[in-house]
Every structure is written in structure tokens, then in C-alpha cells.
A and B are shown apart, each in its own frame.
Chain A
């Protein structure tokens, strides 16, 4: 299927990209690896007049360390590199595990970290051709006025389905947004709006430029649990990331985040308190922690795999991740 026509910009500097993006944002799209955007353009989900390619910008790739010991990853770093980089794999095995299970090997070489974090939300009624969407009268995320998943409501429940986001949430990552007024850092969780039809909170002209992993999260145990039908290519249908460390004091530091279940990746609140109680029992009783995770998940029928099974899975994944990291 040929792509609709657009103008392509290939800025060499981030500032140039930001300026272009601020100017063209309303009728434009940012292009990173294109593994999400190009198929969507073919389906007519977007019809931008301008495409701003981030691929020619110097200095947006690579893994480095800040003066304070934090780790910095450029937004244009390929997923493959996150999965294969030996140092990252040692310090942040959770991120490497999540990255290694994304899509397929060739897509991991094309797709970027920034594109993954800014991935459009997915839904059976949305990721379809024009003809297909026309056949159900479209939906409110694109061209229509109803939601076929939750017909009464006015909300879009399309599922945010990227794999690095929960891992980075569990690792307490921050993201840098480069904008017309300069750069600002914010916790990754604040990037997401929770609305399926407008999943990102990016200001005018803002581009995700870097991801910061705090030094404090290095060396945490991690478990990435991903459910998909096939062992390659498929997007996740329910997945979670757990980062956990038993502190010398006897307590635990733990963060758990979900993806592919809600319109945003979700960091589960209150886990540490819950785990402290769980670990007081011998053997540890994980029921409450699993239920806590379960309550945070909102799987709806956005895919052909039944949502009740995805709910079953998230509970199983929570248990398995906790058992693995506490063992």
C-alpha cells in the first residue's frame, strides 16, 4: 500500500527538529525507527503533511553515564542495543529482558527507545485499514464518535503496548523532553495521560530526547513477564515488569509496572507496603500483593484474546515475578 503524500524533513540538530516540530506539530508527525508509524500511515491512521525524521540528528543515540552516576540513553538508541549491550544487561537486566522480547530481531534493529516509549495505543477496532474501520462506522479514537470496546462511554481504552515502558517505570526512570523553551526532565509516569486517544502528555514542540536510569536502580533484581500468543513478532497482550532489591536493613525496595492492559503503562502504587506485610508471614503470603496488581489492571476487549484471560495472566505474572525476585 503506498503511503499518503507528505513532506519529509531531516534535521541534523535536535534544536532544529524542535523548531520544526513546534511549527508543524499540528499537521506533522515525528519519525524515529518508523516501525509503529509507517504501518499506521499505510492504514490511514494519520495523514501528516510533514514528517520530521529524527534519524539524522547527531547525538541522539547511545548509552552513557552522567556525572552523578546515573545512566543516560539517547531516545534514538535502537531496541536491539538495549537488549544486547553487556553493561546495561548486567546493571539493568530487567530492561534488557523487556527489550529482548520486543517484536522480532529485525524490528528491534529498526525500532528505537523513544519510539517505543511514545508508541501509539493499540486496539482491534483501530489498528485496521480505512475500509475496515469504515465497516464499523469508525470509533472515537479516529474519525468516529463511539467506542466499540466500551460502547456507552466517551473514553478510549486502547491499550498502551510497549515493553520498555513498564521496565523503565519499575527502574524509576526519568525522561528528558527537549522543547522550544529548553529541556525539562520528568518522571516517566508523567509522560502518559491515561487517555487511549491521546496517550502522551507532550507539550508543543517537545521531543523525547533522553532517558535517565538512576544509579540507585542499578543492580536491582528484575523479572519481565510477557504474555503473547507467539514467541516472536507479537505485541504483548499482558505484561509486567518488577524491579526489586532486598535492602541490608531487611526491607525491600520494589516497583512493579504493567503494560498492554491499560491505556497507559501503570506503576502499581503501594506495593512496598504490601510486600512488607507479605514477607512477615512464613512462607511469604503474596495474595494481597497479587490482588493489588490485579486491581491496577484494566484489560478490555481491545484484542481478539479475551480480556478475562489477560486478567488471569496478570495475576499469574505478578506471582511469578515476585517469586522469582524474592527467591
Chain B
């Protein structure tokens, strides 16, 4: 038998690089995503979308479609008239619109047919009588629309929601500032573009119950919404989430197809599957809104930030969705990463005739963070400070509360910044570049891209920026839910073991049956939540990872979890899983304490064994058997998590958004070069350090950090939803919505910082979103370092960069720049004129401070 120290040493599930428990299902092609499912008698649904941006629906005539052989039924808004929406205050959409279409792509009717081909052929046969209404695609124009142009009667002036927050005395503090920067930033809308298009399969069971398989991040909200719209009790509905091919927030609201499939299945009397085309995914959207940010930051001569004033307009599209939450996030985290005593924030969420926006990785915070971190770069220059040093001078001193009441316990930002500054040789490189020595750049591109290192047109530059994010929202969207996550850990007595059977081995080995099963409602969407919970339970019970099985996201058998959004799963479900394992352990220890006549506290689980204080030992399975009450088949440990009261924030209007039990932090340095003749920007390398509290699985943490940085890089370089003057999304496909290819993707080096959060499971916090935002300003700041132009509007495509370079060449010398910044965001945010995408002077000269 192994000695105790040996067993201690072997205990290393947490923190060990671990392959995802479901990896073999992904790499073999065997794992089933929703569209991979087929059930007997299954029919196919196709949705008819509005081709008008705003129109009253006078009538739908499906006669010709119904006459097509193979068409089973056509459903319309009348078949599912109950409005829904993710927020209690925003139930303003129907799965199929009964009376009004509000954007090109809005959902009008659904054909159910024996094959996808027949359904597609039937779509154009449906006659819809529309009465066109005036449509608005520009948020500022929408705010000035006459009543006929209001998208929703209960939202005058197309303002979904506005908030005005003041903390401290920003006006007085701004007046004291030694330097003030004020700019207007416009970030076009971007979308998730998860590789798996949404899909749902719905089937009514012979007993009248409904089973829905869907590619969702939020099975629980889906469950509630299905019950609401289908007017069934939740107990009669079973929601199963198969494997999901990425979400990033795009599957964190109920999508119309989920309800449409269920309603269609009821009408057709047969199972119905609907899978969105890629174009439909773009119309379903719920991504990051176009945001206009007018931002003003003032600092003292020593770099201490005195005040921030921001006015934010988010172009929310046609429905509420998460809108007010998205908007509030743009303010709540604005002043919460640094110590900023005075903040004013005015936010407007505006309705326009475009696909609805919602939660996308870094929900609500990204565009504000871009503006703020880009502005800090300007302030640093104004004050003659190193941009990294300016940030250092404004760090929080936790434990503390930010000015808007967010509680901060762990804060790895200083270490993150040190890490990337050191790794990128920040100081040396910037100095070297300043004296003209071309530093060696690591160009990790394919052969097509190699640029001659000595190309005189290409100057290198470095930029730094930081970002952060919540580890779960401390308040559920309907603040009623007291428990955010419940996890069960079950252990059955092992069958009599065949001689020589051993546990352990890789994830592919099925030699030993799992010793425990985790039952959890969490939604694995590729981020690794199944693996995370398996690791936590394995660690807590001293078992190898392979001894833990995970069953997740089947409402008939797994307990409730709010879902995969706001980076809440590791912190919340992770804590619930840990508590469930500890609960199981307590039951085992109590039984063995009686048997061994010792204190329960002295009993531990290690290396697949349960050990007593004076050398007693039992295999884990035998210990479970010993602890089973007479007649019971299995032990069940239960763990729950609810955020502590102290982490739930203040009580002003809108205070519910932003508070989290813990925050992640990220610091990044980007190295770019700019071809000043073509305007082309090449990102050579990104150094990214992320404080995730504790890296439960370094492979997964690095994957999440790199993936976030890279997604931000897409927003910085090539991604945007472009609209025509008629409100058509000009690029509803993966050819023209330009997600970076591997040849556009620089090496990204991730550094893990572990601040060990006192409340996180084993100290862990979020890792999957917080690194996204920083990369956009880091690149913008690096472009300034390289080429001397400030860019206020991503993506930094060559045409925008060249326009700014030309403006710089034409501009008066710095210092004489006219102070043209308007007091309010009056310039046009949206696409005007013939060009199908927003066109602003990208390189407005820096505004003179006072």
C-alpha cells in the first residue's frame, strides 16, 4: 500500500493539463450535435423570413404551399401568439410575428414538409400581404422617428431603455484634471459566427409530453420559455442539449426556431427538425451591437485618473433581448477595473429595423473597453507617461469596492501587466523602435504573407491594453432564482470486481467503470464545462479523472443550472460540484467514522482510497458500499451555489448588472506593423496574460484565453456586419463576414496568472471572455505607435487605415488640431449614402486637451 505522502503527490487532477473528457467524441466524428440527430417519422421545417425591414402583416396565404406534395403544414404567428423574451421587462417578440415584421429576416411562417428540399420549394409559394412602414437603420435617426416608425408601440422614440449613472462628482473632478481627452468611438456590430448553425429537433411523446433537443447555451431558459409559449407545465417538457458547436452568446437566448419546431411538431403530429442556414444564423444574430461611445477621461499630472464621462448609444436592432443588460454592462464595468472615483455614464439602447443584438463574448463591455483603453494611450502621451505605467498608477487596492459598488477580492491585474511587459520586452522594444532599430519580429505566417523584414514602408509598433470580465452574474435575469446552480454527485457500490481490474487510464479507456457520476444542468458548448466538473469532483474525492462520468443538460435527469453565459459556469457550477462532492464525502466519512471509531474530520479520500486517521484504508468503492444505507443503491451528494449577498451590488436603478462574485483580468501587448502605402496592418504577435484565479486545466485556460484574444482580433481587423442603405445585411455569410483564417492569425502567447480567489472553486475564476476586449485597443495603440494615427472605429481594415493616414498627411501639425468634437454624438453612426457600411472619418485628429 502506498504511503500517505506518495498518495498526496499523486493528487494532481487540478492544475494538470487535461484533455477534454469528450474529446474522443469530437475527434472521431461520433459525437452527435443537434443536426446530427434523426428520429423515425421526422419532418423538416423551413422558416419564411420577411424581405421587408418594417411592415404590417395583413395576411398570410399558405394555400399554394400546402398544395405541394410532401408539405404537411404551414404555421404562422397565430399558432404561437405568446410573446417572450429573456428579460422580464422585454417580452416583446413572438417566434413567428403575428402582426408586424421588424427587420429583413424577421420570422413570418414555417413550412413543415417531408424533406428539406420540399420545404424549401414551398417557401416561395407562401403569399404574405404586407403594408410597408417607414424603416430606420441608424440609431440616432430612429430616436427622431415619427410614431409610424416606432418599432414597438410601447417604446416611444424607439428608445428601449435609458439609464443615467453618476458616481462621485465627475464634473468637478474633470475640472481639476491636468489633461482631458475626449473622443467619439464607433464600433460596428459584430456577430458570434459559431461554426455550428442553430438546430432544434422537437418531438411530442405518446403521453403528450414534449422532448426538445437543441443547440442552446441556456437549456433552463429554453425550458421555461417553451413552457410559457406552448402553455405546458415545465414537468411535461424535457429539454436535452446535445453537443454544441460553439455559442459565444449566440445561443444564450431562446431562438425562434426552438419554439417554432415545437409548435410545428404539435401541429404536424410528428417530430420536426429545423436547422438554420448560415444566412439565417446571421439574421438570428443577438451579437454585439453597433455602439457609439463619446468618452471623456481626465487625469491629474501624475497620471491618476480623476473622472470619466461616457455617453453610450447601442443600436439594439428590432427586439429587446438582453438589450438593457448589454447596455448596463457597457457602464458597469467602465470604471471598475481601475480605481476611478468619479464616473458619469449615460446609456441609451435604441430600436432599429435590423437583426436584434444581445450577448456576445465580453457582453456589453468590449466596445467601451476599447474606447477607454485607447483613450488611456492618448492620455499617457499627453502626460508624457509610459502607457503601462499610467495603468499601474491606477490599480485598485483590493479587497475593495469600486465606485459603483462592485466587490473585488482577488485582483491579478498588476501581475498580468508585469508578465506581458516583461515577455514582450515592452520597454526595450519601444525604445529601440524610437531610435529606428528594426526589432526582430516573429512572423509566424504562412508563406504567402512573408514581408521583407527591411521593407521601409512597414513600421513596427507596440500597444498595451487591459480588460476584465465577470465570473458569472451575481443576479439572475429574473432576480427570483435564488439558486444559480445545483449539482449532484452519485456513487453506486461497485459490482464485484473481476480480479486485477484497475482504475485509471486515459479518457479513451473504458476498462474501469466510473466510480462516480456527476449530474449537472450546465451546458457544455466547447468551453469545457463537463471536464471542469469532472476534474473538481475527481480532485475532491481523490479519484482519477477517468473514474468520473458526467451527465449534463438533460432536464429529465439533471438538476437546474442557469446556463452557459456571463462566464458563470466554472465559478458557480464548479462550486456546486465541489460542494456536491464534499457532501458525498461527508456521508462516506460519517459511515466510516462509526465503523473505524474515529472522527469523521480525520477521514480523507486520496488515490482512489478512503483513509482513516490511523492507517485504516478502504477502496473508494468499498467505502461507498459501506456507507450505503440499507436497501439504497447509491449515495447522492448535493451541492448548490448562490452568489453571496455582499457580491450582489448596490440598489440604484440598473445596479443588478455588473456585480459578480469575482472578476478576471487580462493585460496584453500587441506588436503590429503598418504598411503606410497600402494601409495594411499586420499583427505579428500578441502577448496575453489572464488572471483566472486558478488554472484548473491549463490547456483549457490557454485555449479560452487565446480563443478570446483571437476573436477580439477578428473584431479589430476584419469583422463587421455591414448594412446597405435599405437595411439589408450586406454580408450574411462566412465568405464576406470575414472571420480570420489561420493565415490571418498571429502567434498568441498566453500567460496564466493565478490570484487564487477566496470564493472560487480551488481559487478559480473566469477564463473565457475577459481577454477579448483588450486586444482591440492594444492593436489600435500599436497602430498609433507604428504609424502615428489614432483609429476610432474598428475594424482597422486597410481602407480605414489609409484614410486615416491620408488625413494625417493633410492635417495641420499637432497642437493646431481644431477642436471639432461635438458635445453630443451627432455625427452619423450608421451607413449613409451609397456605401453599404458605416463611413466615418476614421482618423480624426486627437482632440486638444485643456
A–B touch (CB < 8 A): the answer is yes
Residues in A lying within 8 Å of B, measured CB to CB: 1-2, 100-101, 104, 124, 128-132, 134-136, 148, 227, 229-235, 301, 303-306, 308-309, 312-313, 316
- Residue in A2, A131, A306 whose Cβ sees the most chain B Cβ within 10 Å: A131
Given contact pairs A1-B120, A306-B839, A230 touches B797 in the complex (Cβ within 8 A): no
Contacts of B42 in A (CB 8 A): none
**Nearest chain B residue, comparing its CB with the CB of A132:** B728
Q: Could you tell me the distance in whole angstroms from the C-beta of A314 to the nearest C-beta in chain B?
A: 11
- Residue in A1, A101, A135, A301 whose Cβ sees the most chain B Cβ within 10 Å: A135
Q: Are B49 and A131 in contact (CB under 8 A)?
A: yes
Contacts of A132 in B (CB 8 A): 51, 104, 279, 728, 732
Residues in B lying within 8 Å of A, measured CB to CB: 49, 51-53, 104-105, 115-117, 120, 124, 277, 279, 445-446, 448-449, 677-679, 718, 722, 724, 726, 728, 730-732, 735-736, 738, 740-744, 797-799, 802-803, 834-837, 839
Q: Are A309 and B124 in contact (CB under 8 A)?
A: no
Q: Are A316 and B279 in contact (CB under 8 A)?
A: no
Contacts of B839 in A (CB 8 A): 306
Q: Are B836 and A230 in contact (CB under 8 A)?
A: no
Contacts of A301 in B (CB 8 A): 834-836
Contacts of A234 in B (CB 8 A): 735, 738
**Nearest chain B residue, comparing its CB with the CB of A231:** B743
Contacts of B741 in A (CB 8 A): 104, 230-233
- 12 additional A-B residue pairs with CB within 8 Å, beyond A131-B104, A230-B740, A230-B743: A100-B448, A124-B724, A124-B836, A130-B124, A135-B51, A135-B53, A136-B724, A231-B445, A305-B797, A306-B835, A306-B839, A309-B802
Contacts of B803 in A (CB 8 A): 309
Q: Point out the residue from B116, B446, B722 that lies within 8 Å of A231, measured CB to CB.
A: B446
Given contact pairs A230-B744, A304-B836, A313 touches B279 in the complex (Cβ within 8 A): no
Q: Are A316 and B52 in contact (CB under 8 A)?
A: no
Cross-chain pairs A/B with CB under 8 angstroms, 20 sampled = A2-B115, A2-B116, A131-B49, A131-B51, A131-B104, A132-B51, A132-B104, A134-B51, A229-B798, A231-B743, A231-B744, A233-B741, A234-B735, A234-B738, A235-B735, A301-B835, A304-B837, A306-B799, A309-B803, A312-B678
Contacts of B802 in A (CB 8 A): 309, 312
Q: Are B730 and A124 in contact (CB under 8 A)?
A: yes
**Nearest chain A residue, comparing its CB with the CB of B446:** A231
Q: Are A304 and B730 in contact (CB under 8 A)?
A: yes
Cross-chain pair count, CB within 8 angstroms: 94
Contacts of A104 in B (CB 8 A): 741
Contacts of A130 in B (CB 8 A): 124
Q: Are A135 and B104 in contact (CB under 8 A)?
A: yes
With the chains together, A270 CA to B718 CA distance in Å?
37
With the chains together, A305 CA to B724 CA distance in Å?
12
Q: Are A231 and B448 in contact (CB under 8 A)?
A: yes
Contacts of B730 in A (CB 8 A): 124, 304
With the chains together, A101 CA to B447 CA distance in Å?
11
With the chains together, A129 CA to B278 CA distance in Å?
11
**Nearest chain A residue, comparing its CB with the CB of B677:** A316
With the chains together, A306 CA to B798 CA distance in Å?
10
Given contact pairs A135-B51, A135-B104, A305-B797, A230 touches B718 in the complex (Cβ within 8 A): yes
Cβ-closest 5 pairs across A and B: A309-B799, A231-B743, A2-B117, A135-B51, A232-B741
Q: Point out the residue from A100, A136, A232, A305 that lies within 8 Å of B726, measured CB to CB.
A: A136
Contacts of B735 in A (CB 8 A): 233-235
Contacts of B52 in A (CB 8 A): 135
Q: Are A304 and B731 in contact (CB under 8 A)?
A: yes
- Residue in A132, A234, A308 whose Cβ sees the most chain B Cβ within 10 Å: A132
Contacts of A136 in B (CB 8 A): 724, 726, 728
Chain A contact residues: helix, strand, loop or mixed: loop
Contacts of B445 in A (CB 8 A): 231
Q: Point out the residue from B53, B115, B736 that lies within 8 Å of A304, measured CB to CB.
A: B736
Contacts of B449 in A (CB 8 A): 231
Q: Could you tell me the distance in whole angstroms from the C-beta of B487 to the nearest C-beta in chain A?
A: 41
Q: Are B743 and A232 in contact (CB under 8 A)?
A: yes
With the chains together, A304 CA to B836 CA distance in Å?
6
Q: Point out the residue from B277, B724, B797 that lies within 8 Å of A229, measured CB to CB.
A: B797
With the chains together, A304 CA to B449 CA distance in Å?
23
**Nearest chain B residue, comparing its CB with the CB of A5:** B117
Q: Could you tell me the distance in whole angstroms from the C-beta of A15 to the nearest C-beta in chain B?
A: 34
Q: Are A1 and B743 in contact (CB under 8 A)?
A: no
Q: Point out the residue from B277, B731, B740, B836 that lies within 8 Å of A1, measured CB to CB.
A: B277
With the chains together, A131 CA to B53 CA distance in Å?
12
With the chains together, A152 CA to B726 CA distance in Å?
17
Q: Could you tell me the distance in whole angstroms from the C-beta of B115 to the nearest C-beta in chain A?
A: 8
**Nearest chain B residue, comparing its CB with the CB of A228:** B738
Contacts of A128 in B (CB 8 A): 732
Contacts of B743 in A (CB 8 A): 230-232
Q: Could you tell me the distance in whole angstroms from the C-beta of A10 to the nearest C-beta in chain B?
A: 22
Contacts of B722 in A (CB 8 A): 304
Contacts of B124 in A (CB 8 A): 130
With the chains together, A210 CA to B781 CA distance in Å?
52
Q: Could you tell me the distance in whole angstroms from the C-beta of B607 to the nearest C-beta in chain A?
A: 48
With the chains together, A128 CA to B282 CA distance in Å?
13
- Residue in B53, B731, B799, B837 whose Cβ sees the most chain A Cβ within 10 Å: B799
Contacts of B726 in A (CB 8 A): 135-136
With the chains together, A136 CA to B834 CA distance in Å?
14
- Residue in A129, A134, A232, A304 whose Cβ sees the most chain B Cβ within 10 Å: A304
Contacts of A305 in B (CB 8 A): 797, 799
Contacts of B446 in A (CB 8 A): 231
With the chains together, A260 CA to B629 CA distance in Å?
77
With the chains together, A312 CA to B116 CA distance in Å?
46
With the chains together, A308 CA to B806 CA distance in Å?
13
**Nearest chain A residue, comparing its CB with the CB of B728:** A135
With the chains together, A2 CA to B113 CA distance in Å?
14
Q: Are B798 and A309 in contact (CB under 8 A)?
A: yes
With the chains together, A272 CA to B803 CA distance in Å?
32
Q: Could you tell me the distance in whole angstroms from the C-beta of B678 to the nearest C-beta in chain A?
A: 6
Contacts of B679 in A (CB 8 A): 309
Contacts of B798 in A (CB 8 A): 227, 229, 309, 313
- Residue in B446, B449, B741 whose Cβ sees the most chain A Cβ within 10 Å: B741
With the chains together, A33 CA to B693 CA distance in Å?
52
Q: Could you tell me the distance in whole angstroms from the C-beta of A138 to the nearest C-beta in chain B?
A: 11
Contacts of A2 in B (CB 8 A): 115-117, 120
Given contact pairs A101-B448, A124-B836, A305-B797, A229 touches B718 in the complex (Cβ within 8 A): yes
With the chains together, A229 CA to B446 CA distance in Å?
15
Q: Are A316 and B678 in contact (CB under 8 A)?
A: yes
- Residue in B445, B449, B797, B834 whose Cβ sees the most chain A Cβ within 10 Å: B834
Contacts of B835 in A (CB 8 A): 301, 306
Q: Point out the residue from B279, B736, B744 that lies within 8 Å of A129, measured CB to CB.
A: B279
Q: Are A230 and B738 in contact (CB under 8 A)?
A: yes
Contacts of B51 in A (CB 8 A): 131-132, 134-135
Q: Could you tell me the distance in whole angstroms from the C-beta of A9 to the nearest C-beta in chain B?
A: 21
Contacts of B718 in A (CB 8 A): 229-230
Q: Could you tell me the distance in whole angstroms from the C-beta of B126 to the nearest C-beta in chain A?
A: 12
With the chains together, A148 CA to B120 CA distance in Å?
27
**Nearest chain B residue, comparing its CB with the CB of A309:** B799
With the chains together, A110 CA to B724 CA distance in Å?
33
With the chains together, A130 CA to B803 CA distance in Å?
35
Contacts of A303 in B (CB 8 A): 736
With the chains together, A131 CA to B678 CA distance in Å?
36
**Nearest chain B residue, comparing its CB with the CB of A104:** B741
With the chains together, A308 CA to B743 CA distance in Å?
26
Contacts of B728 in A (CB 8 A): 132, 135-136
- Residue in A229, A232, A303 whose Cβ sees the most chain B Cβ within 10 Å: A229
With the chains together, A227 CA to B798 CA distance in Å?
10
Contacts of A148 in B (CB 8 A): 724
Q: Could you tell me the distance in whole angstroms from the C-beta of B18 to the nearest C-beta in chain A?
A: 32
Contacts of B104 in A (CB 8 A): 131-132, 135
Contacts of B53 in A (CB 8 A): 135
With the chains together, A304 CA to B799 CA distance in Å?
11
Q: Could you tell me the distance in whole angstroms from the C-beta of B677 to the nearest C-beta in chain A?
A: 6
